[in-house]
Structures are given as structure tokens and as C-alpha cells.
Structure 1
Amino acid sequence: TPHICSLSPGGPDHIQDLDRAGGIPAVMKTLAAHSLLDTGCLTATGKNLADNLSSVEIKDGAVIRPVSDPYHVQGGLAVLFGNLAPDGCVVKQSAVVEEMMTHQGPARVFDTEEAATEAILGGKINAGDVVVIRYEGPAGGPGMREMLTPTSAIAGMGLGAACALITDGRFSGGTKGACIGHVSPEAANGGPIAMINENDIIRIDIPTKTIELMVPEDEIRERQARWVKPEPKIKTGYMARYARQVSSAAQGAIIE
């Protein structure tokens, strides 16, 4: 599915521009005209999608581009796989600058969001680094916190086009740059992200949908054998139960 509407922070327009151009219904009508939506499905209005969209107008073709002239041929999100994320991870590729679509650099490893933010704001992260924030996934957080603070800090320190960030946590829609989240399996469940050592080389290749820890597989297996699951951050109450029972982000982070 092509990327036909690009809003801030990944693009030039804002939500009010989209509203003026016809809103989400206009985006849907553009896609439906190319059989990219099932217009026969029934909706909450009691009518099918085709009926709902019949009177919709696309009022600004510069904001909502035609499918023949998209911002990007592929959609805004990409799912990457590799030995660092065997079950996948997610990046908003539409907000990644061209020079960071492929990147290789040393890992800077942090076990909490707060530790990473302190290092970024303290000037301890350099251009080319790959910031790794782990134990922030559904079970490890617990709750899979939003990593907006460190990503904003990277941008604020002028490193948004020079550093990547990888986490088993999640992001908001306001994130831009090479920020890769939902790494699965997560660190708290012994995923490969827990085996990364400081200064290990990580390779990210968004066009080929791959993410790799450039460490020999036998070394990764040795690290896994030595790994000890950390004590849970919360040991009583609902959040402790949630941490014990929640599934991987790759399965929707649901209570099992």
C-alpha cells in the first residue's frame, strides 16, 4: 500500500491540512479507487464502505496524493527481522532520513529508559551510535512504556539524522528518525536484545527489512546460556500479574 499522505513529524503537512483536504475519508476513497480497500464491508453507519465514501471529495491533491504519485511506494511502517529480532520489530520508515535507512554502528546499551535519557542529555552518545533500551517490553516494563523521551532527546541533541535507537518498548506517532521498537522476543523473556554487549556492532537495513547483531551465533548462544532473568520490577498487585502473564509484543501483548 503506497504512502499517500505525509504528516508531521515525518512529512510537510499537519493534521489540519489533512482535515482541509477531506480527512481520513478522502484518503480511504483514494485507496478504494485502486481496490486497496474492501468497500463492500458493513460499517457502524449501517451502510457499506462504498456508500460511506460515495459523497467524499479529495479537496487537495498535494496533501492527499494520488496512488500514482505517492510520497513513498511502500507504506509508512516496516517490520524488520533478523537475529536481533527473530519475531520482528517495527520502524516508521516514512520518518527515517535517507542516510539512516541503512546504518551500522556500535551499541550503547541501557536497561531503563531513564538511564538512556540521562546519557543522551549528558552528551555521552556520539554520531553513529545505536542506542539500545531494553527491559522495557510488555513484561519487562512492565507495560511496554512509550520511549518518546529518549527519542526526543536524541533529536534535541542534534543526533536525529546520525543515531539509531532500538528498544523492546514502544513509540508514539510523534517519533521520527531511525527508532525501532517492539523488538521481539523482549529482553525480560531472554530475547537476543538481552544478549547485546556495549560496543557490539548492530546493522540495520530498512530497505531489506533486516536487523542483525554482528556477533557470531555461537557467542550469542554462550551469552544466552549465561543470562540470568532479572528480578521483576513489581512483585505484587495487578502489574505483577500482568508481567507474568502478558504475551510477546509480536502476539499483541495480550494477557494469556
Structure 2
Amino acid sequence: MIHPTATVEEGARIAPDVSIGAYSYIASGVSIGAGSTVGNHTLIEGETTIGRNNRIFSHAVIGSIPQDLKYRGEKVRLEIGDDNIIREFTLINPGTEGGGGVTRIGSGNLLMGYVHVAHDVQIGDHCILANAATLAGHVELGDHVVVGGMTPIHQFVHVGDYAMIAGASALSQDVPPYCLAEGNRAVLRGLNLTGLRRKLDRDSIDALKAAYRRLFESGAPLQKTARELAEASNDPAVKQLCRFIMESKRGIPFKRKTNAQ
């Protein structure tokens, strides 16, 4: 299952059924779980743990040192879960000491070609990062997030569950769960209704629609409105949306309306 031109350093922990393609290089600190495949000309190094049934395509670079000038060779990690698809020419870096020391990618994700996942990024489960999406350091993605192609996300930005960022956008602020953002700089454009219909019943979607209008279209103060809704609503999705807003550190990108408008 390992091509004769591939190099696997002593100490690497490779499950017996893992396939490794021609001219790939697997360093000593790497662990790869059962059922996984590694394409040709792929580099996996550092303290990198890869779970089961991952498909890694050719020319990916996984676990190379962070692109952070503060990095001084300290021991850091990259953890990747199960059932991920990592396409050609992706670049995934481990964490840094200042950011917790670990980059984590959950399970069931699709990272298309030329995606970059920088140091200390945290990605949940079942996310899709389209071609050339770029996540700067310390970015957090929840579960079922979609990031369109050619979209950079600024460092420390947090994107909530079931949110979607349109292609060719540039995101510099936090996007709450269930929302859709688009533009350069990206702003909220509404709810991610396609994603919502896959997860929530009609009553919850209607509750989110009403909450969205009150939060972002009424002209009322955002934080005050979020607190009021969180206390008044019985819908878990609405509460999650409001908590995210109240906890946001980079602010929410939306076009503010005044009462006069």
C-alpha cells in the first residue's frame, strides 16, 4: 500500500491499510488512521495526527511549520479527524504557542484545491471550504459552515454553525450561526435558508426570520436586542444566534439602519 518511491520516516505511525502514493514524504511525528489514502507528491510532517478514512490528494502540504514570524521552533500540533477530503495543493499549518499550540480540523469536511488553513485555526464538522479559501490564524468555524472560493477570512474571526460566506468575499468580522454573508468587506445578506432547511423545522426557521429582522433590520441597538431576545425566546436556534452576538469579539458585519430610515 506504500509506493516504493514514497518515504516514511522511522517513528511514523501508519495503519496497515493506509495507501501512500509515489514520492510522498511522511515524517516521524505523523500518525495516520485506518482507511486513509495519501496521494502522490504529498508532504505530511510535524506532530500531526490524522484520523480514519481521510482522503488526501496530491501535492498537499500538511503540518509544515506555521507561517508566523513569532514561531521559534516550539512543539506544536495539528489534529485532523475522520472522513475528511483534502484536495490538491492544500496547505494546513499546526498551532503556535501563543494560540494554544494546536490547529484542529473535525470530521466530514471538504477542503477543495489550494485551501489554506493557518495556525491555531479550529474547524468543526461537515464544513466545505471551496477552492482557494484562505483562513488566517486563529479563525474558528462551527459545524456545517460553507466558505466560498477565493474568500479570505481575517485572523481571529469566528463563523457560527450553518453559516455561509459567499465566494470572492473578504470577511473581517464574525458571522453568526445560520446567516449568509457576502461582499468585500462581507456583510450579512440574510439567513442561510438552504442550510436551515436541512437542519430545522418550519417553526424554528420562522422564529429565526423574526429574530433576524429584529436584530439587523429594526435599527435597534444590537447588543440590547440580542439580550432581550435571548431572554424572551424559547427557540434554541434563536438563543444560539443571540449568544453568539453577545459573545462576539470582532463585531457583526451588517448595514445599520436608523429609526429615521
**Does TM-score exceed 0.5, indicating one fold?**
no
> What is the TM-score normalised by the length of structure 2?
0.27
Greater length-normalized contact order (CA 8 Å, ≥ 6 residues apart): 1
Which one has the bigger strand percentage? 2
Which one has the bigger helix percentage? 1
